[in-house]
Structure 1
């Protein structure tokens, strides 16, 4: 196989000068994510007409947006198109031409708890963003999937229902799409919400589902924690001077109690220290030194490293994620407004994250209050010139770790993730630990600044995900499937949310949609025996037994 050619997807454009005629299709997939692409491709492979309605210019979501250090947990859960994706990445990097900036032998083979390249299964779970996007674009091109790049009109008139079923949706620029079955494969769950499907935002109390890891977590939040002894006030020791930016007076309740907060977002920065391909990060417009006071105080309290990860990608690049108490996660609780926020609100929050992270890099490299040793340690890192070329080399996708979560007749919980016996309708598997990033900063009982919300607990073994988690209540919508904002508690979702799982659930959803159309039935009534038979025929991994 030759190296991946960086193709553009087959695109249908719409001009709003006059309302175009409605487009008819069997299945409409909403989203520009990895899961959305997989769902659309699987719909085509099932012999159904499909339209991929993408609110994003670039396809692939986080997988092509900087998350190249895959959160996998156990590679045995890969099957179907999710396995195919990582095999296509392997094929690309098996060609010498793919290593244009680094000798393959110099790269090494480290991945997220496993080897990056698995020569037995011919998979590669670590990759450059542009390579992932090229795989998704090629899939769309090869399968002749029509793509409309437009956002959903989230007003009441943006969706029409008849007899409880969605009959059509409309975009902001006036395009109408009619379909028999719809799939919401967005990180936010906008189509699900507009359809009137029940959902929740935030953390349930532990008592809701008899869990131990949900709700507010102060005692357990020992990972990604700040150094001890950081004063919370603008003028140290002077409460009258006010709290530092982003610091709250208290955690908002007792441990285990619920709230409406979501785990912090960030951008998965792709960085490089290879000078010929490097663009240095400039001080962002509007830079405010006070926003980085906690950085300075953390350094004064002893933090010397871990301001962001430098997980290696091919060709001298990184996937740079949050890695410490003060890092790329912007803990101002602004993200709490994101899930239900309008487009303008989300764009404002995304820009706030970008400015924070650009400012963090610049601060660590240049600010006089940062020690010379730290400045030297980070001095070589900048943005790759050959990545994200139309967005100033900055990732195109904010890492929305958690937004809305559907509440259906079946809910994945801590118990089902850790003890999955009894789940008889598997449509995919998960294996990564229950991973919740911090939610907020507050004044701890000792009077110093503490982070709250971090939970990282391994699951004992790969687990099955029930079909009920991706379909709403039948009374709410009988022709919609939801593949990221699934029906799960906050802590269970912390494991399920990983990109390979998202792709697997999206493929299963498209297969179920096809069967629902063939049987003229609600998605909730698709016979699981038929669904399982087809999923296994397509190579999906439903159990390790």
Structure 2
């Protein structure tokens, strides 16, 4: 990585706008594919909010992390092991926490490993050049301060040219200037989005509230009407509590300070003298914490929409208002709140007066892509029986976070005392997939987005986490390289090519709680899952080392080889139409029968007694047996596959055998075929 500061024109294969976690991941992914990359970042910092207030990836489980996110977490844990820090926050089973200066150093190290990446910090995009639906140039001006504000008056812009552009910013300016259509605001309630529009909930709390409303409840006043509102933003301050009781550096009172905006609850002290703050303060690592008060605290709603839709030159005053609000809250805590011991962490942002560089933009533009995600794609109960949302065959990323929104209106309900738009649907949390079409905005042929992706407001409430953005960034970087290599539009890159490359780079495209990237059958399991073989398991397990059954084999075979469903009769004893295996085993029967292959024993009888009523399907008359719950041996699986390939008109690669491949005539049942080995067997044969 080279870090350039002063030049006017530059060119690369891929231009990444925004040094966020998504932007860093996109740059790394493209560079690993042999592309030259330029990253434009308005501030001096890299990593986006992962180094400026968000102390973890916000994932419901570590198993949802893979690829570059997994590399990042491994480096975080390695750092703390090397420095000898023992902290209970590092032992979390659902996420890994970090200090912000540590996170920034790691992002810089990851980028520095690639000499074909050039990072330009202090570069504020101000304009673009578009020609015939292709983005040609991004114009930028040097930032006038450390917060990424451009000069007050226009200066001679610098130009960056590229073949493919990736907008990895939180605002989406470059994509908007390029002409990509977008949405901002909230859709109305609908059948596929029951939590859309104006809504009051009791979902942040885990107990019955003061008015008797149960947790996870939609409250009166929820009209579901659409509007232009988005959720509150904030600056997330990194703090430390001085245990010795001494007052630290007091935060100066901003000129716009109004104590009526804030509230602070006195905290009880634990046995070791540290306050127990509750949800208003989140503990992180090494004795640090961040402010997280949703109401009458650090969040601010005023100016959110204006900030997103304004030109960067017009954001300076709006940004300052957000800063004044959060610094006013810290001043309030130290004075009226009676806690002068809560101070800015002394070793964070040491060159910026210990203040974060980046505003936490929780929701910006949402660009209309080839595909749009809605609540039905992240809620497991709307478009299917659960426990997962609907499968996405074009998946390029997975996430594991609940639908979570901060307030979208400032006035609480007079009836329920709750803030409109605020919700945290823990009960609906389920691992979801993101299809590639969400990353390809309409109307621009060489542009990808990673953070302002195509989604409704409610869907975005689950998507808006850095864990996911590292994956969408990775996918965008890979897609950019493939687009350049083939000379096609980014929307025309075969998704299967992106998926293949992502799997080779150890990225998960379907969530399983028990299949890590180091498993020997990882790639095959992921490919089989993309075809639709996902076991029903409330804990999202694949059980890769469990013995595969004949039911597993017939279902996986039909899905893996894209065999059309075909049911002509009821041929198997004990496998009725309601059975999960019914359509798959009958489809294989029809396929083999057409091909004249004895895939199952007794497919041809010397004498068949016709049912009494030949005009109706007679469920009591069956001629074949298949114990779908019985385990399959490796030899049985290979024999069955040989005959299946013959049925498909392919060479099996093994000596021809007229025997059926199912249990009655198959070789001795040892050793057993595991589910993981089954995936590798079928996927390997399909690829050949």
Q: Which interval holds the TM-score relative to the shorter structure?
A: 0.7 to 0.9
- 1:328 is matched with 298
Distance 1:445 1:41, change over 3 A: same
**Contact residue 418 and residue 461 of structure 1 kept, 8 A:** yes
Distance of 2:319 and 2:279 partners within structure 1: 18
Q: Deviations over 1:40-75 (max 9, x none)?
A: 111111111111111221111100112114311122
CA contact (8 A) 1:72 1:498 kept: yes
Per-residue deviation, 1:487: 0.2
Match of 1:317 in 2: 288
Cα deviations across residues 132-175 of structure 1 (Å, max 9, x unaligned)? 00001112222122112244543xxx222222111222113522
**Alignment RMSD:** 2.8
Query: What are the within-5 Å matches in structure 2 for residues 82-231 of structure 1?
Result: 82-95=69-82, 97=83, 99=85, 104=86, 107-109=87-89, 114=93, 125-144=96-115, 145-154=117-126, 158-172=127-141, 173-207=156-190, 210-218=192-200
Is the 1:66–1:128 contact (alpha carbons within 8 Å) kept by the matching residues of 2?
no
Change beyond 3 A, Cα 1:263–1:111 = farther
The verdict on how the C-alpha distance between 1:325 and 1:174 changes in structure 2, with shifts beyond 3 A counting, is: closer
TM-score normalised by structure 2 residue count? 0.64
TM-score (norm 1): 0.80
1:272 and 2:240 are equivalent in the alignment: yes
Aligned twin of 1:504: 471
User: How far apart, CA to CA, are the structure 1 residues paired with 2:364 and 2:222?
Assistant: 23
**1:66 aligned residue:** 53
3-state SS of the aligned residue for 1:126?
coil
- Residue 25 (structure 2) aligns with: 38
Structure with more relative contact order (C-alpha pairs < 8 Å, separation 6 or more) = 1
| 1:312 shift after superposition | 2.4
Q: Which residue in the other structure is 2:564 paired with?
A: none
Q: CA deviation at 1:440?
A: 1.7
Distance 1:299 1:36, change over 3 A: closer
Instruction: Give the aligned partner of residue 452 of structure 1.
Output: 420
Aligned to 1:414: 375
Task: Provide the rounded CA distance (Å) in 1 between the counterparts of 2:315 and 2:418.
Answer: 27
Aligned residues: 470
Please point out which of 225, 230, 251 is paired with 1:262. 230
Match of residue 517 from structure 1: 484
Report the alpha carbon displacement of residue 305 of structure 1 after superposing the two structures with TM.
8.6
2:262 is aligned to 295
**In 2, Cα distance between the equivalents of 1:187 and 1:220?**
28
Q: 1:98 to 1:271 in 2, by over 3 A?
A: farther
Instruction: Find the aligned partners of 1:98 and 1:342 in 2 and give their Cα distance.
Output: 46
Q: 1:14 aligns with which of 2, 6, 27?
A: 6
Partner of 1:463: 432
Q: Summarize the Cα distance change of 1:224–1:484 in structure 2 as closer, same or farther, 3 Å threshold.
A: farther
- Contact 2:250/2:340 (CA < 8 Å) preserved in 1? no
Measured in 1, the distance between the counterparts of 2:406 and 2:101 equals 27
Deviations 1:2-43 (A, max 9, x none): xxxxxxx7311125xxxx3x3221111110211111111111
Q: Does the alignment pair 1:354 with 2:327?
A: no
CA offset at residue 321 of structure 1?
A: 2.2
Give yes or no for contact 2:50–2:56 (8 Å, CA) kept in 1.
Answer: no
Q: Is the 8 A contact 2:307 2:315 kept in 1?
A: yes
Is the CA contact (8 Å cut-off) linking 1:201 and 1:405 kept in structure 2?
yes
Is 1:278–1:385's contact at 8 Å kept on the other side of the alignment?
no
Separation (CA, whole Å) in 2 of partners of 1:443 and 1:108: 37
1:120 aligns to what?
none
Q: Residues 281 and 383 of structure 1 are in contact (CA less than 8 Å); yes or no, is this contact kept in structure 2?
A: no
Cα distance, 1:282 vs. partner?
A: 1.7
- Flag the 1:392–1:150 CA change in 2: closer, same or farther, 3 A: closer
1:365 and 2:334 are equivalent in the alignment? yes
User: 2:493 maps to which residue?
Assistant: 526
In structure 2, the CA distance between the partners of 1:529 and 1:26, relative to structure 1 (3 Å rule), is same
Matched residues in 1 for 2:29 and 2:47: separation? 15
What residue is the counterpart of 1:389 in the other structure?
350
Cα distance in 2, alignment partners of residues 59 and 65 from structure 1: 9
CA contact (8 A) 1:65 1:268 kept: yes
Q: 1:368-425, CA deviations, whole angstroms, 9 ceiling, x for partnerless residues? A: xx5xxxx2xx332111111101211011111100011111231111001124324111
Cα separation, partners in 2 of 1:213 and 1:132, compared to 1, 3 Å: same
Q: Distance in 2 between matches of 1:73 and 1:269?
A: 23
In 2, Cα distance between the equivalents of 1:72 and 1:499? Answer: 8
Question: Which residue is 2:524 aligned to?
Answer: none
Q: Tell me the distance in 2 between the aligned counterparts of 1:396 and 1:278.
A: 25
Change (3 A) 1:531 1:450: closer
Alignment partner, residue 245 of structure 1: none
- Structure 1 residue 513 displacement after superposition: 0.7
Structure 2 unaligned runs (5+)?
Answer: 142-155, 212-220, 267-274, 381-388, 513-528, 530-688
Q: Displacement of 1:213 after TM fit?
A: 1.1
Q: CA deviation at 1:353?
A: 2.2
Question: Residue 252 of structure 2: SS of its match in structure 1?
Answer: coil
